[in-house]
Amino acid sequence: MELGVKADAAALAHRIKLLNLGLPAEDEFSVICAWLGRCRLVHKLDQLQAPPSSRDLYQVPDLLADFVDHGAVLIEVKVTTRKSLSFRPDYHRRLTAYAALLGKPMLIAWKFHTLWVLFDIRHMTLARTNFNISYGDAMRQSLLGPLVGDVMFKLAPGAGVRFDIAKEELLGTRQESETAFTEEWRMRFTSVDFVKGGGLPAPDLHSETQQILTAWDLEPREEHFDDRIALSYIVGDEGVQFAHTALVRVLAWERRAPSPGDWRALLRTPRITRTIENFPRALERALGEGVVSHIFRIAPADKPDFLAKPEA
């Protein structure tokens, strides 16, 4: 540990807390870059600097990533739940000095609650003492779409999956009140059918299109008949989702767990998700199949030079 054996317990505990926050976030962002399909290389940068005096001049960022068409960039990863991000002037100066030394853009990947943005450090402005940016401004300048491949998408209302469940044998009845009772039935699934927008039959949906439905908050609906129950999970009328947040849902579904698990382990796997090989391509296919209704490609308000000029 750089703090040394004489460091006080509070400082050591604070450093460990920062590591616990930072390292998984760096791994998570690396997984997102790898999954969205435009990243040729992403790796962590060794931040042990020598000589010690170099720390007064340079701050080595967390990641280096190389993207199709736009080349290599440097990325510093941050996680906050505050609506603004703040850098001390010396920290900002050392990051930009390192970027100038290598001749590469310095970008900031910021996770705000569950959403990521990626912006050029030059959009941070000096306030009274620190360089700041609001989450709204960071979102307006985000490069996550044109650089990394993130998109916003919406599923078609009425798309989803329907189950028919036959009532085979009444096992018992329990009176709950004067006007209500509960029946216990032996039941059997008789059909499982996918539907596209508008509830139209879609018998030949690609398996990846079916899987995209698991990344959405589907609305449960039930219809009761004398001999069966029709149970549906259907896309409602509202909402859009970022592709990078869909990754978390798909991983959680595959692992039957509330969270994706170990991000570092995912970086070592041949395929990050088992059920969807290429998410942007799967979205385009689902658009053609009528399950996705819209795909939105978001550009930053101010396009940086390195993005406007493709790599030679």
Helix axes of 279-289 and 243-255: crossing angle, nearest 10 degrees: 100
**Banded model confidence at residue 187, pLDDT cuts 50, 70, 90:** very high
Query: Which pLDDT band, with edges at 50, 70 and 90, does 16 fall under?
Result: very low
> Distance between CA 4 and CA 200 in Å, rounded?
66
State the Cα angle at 275 between 78 and 281, rounded to 5°. 75
Asked whether residue 79 carries a pLDDT value surpassing 80, the answer given is: yes
Provide the whole-model pTM. Answer: 0.84
The number of beta carbons lying within 10 Å of the beta carbon of residue 219 is 13
- The whole-number pLDDT of residue 7 equals 54
H helix or E strand, kind and range, residue 167: strand 160-175
pLDDT value for 21: 43
Q: What CA–CA distance (Å, rounded) separates 307 from 144?
A: 12
DSSP letter assigned to residue 27: H
- Cβ-proximal residues to 148 (8 Å cutoff; 6+ apart), any chain: 32, 33, 36, 38, 39, 67, 118
Asked, as a colleague might, if the bond just before 51 is cis with ω within 30 of 0, I would say: yes
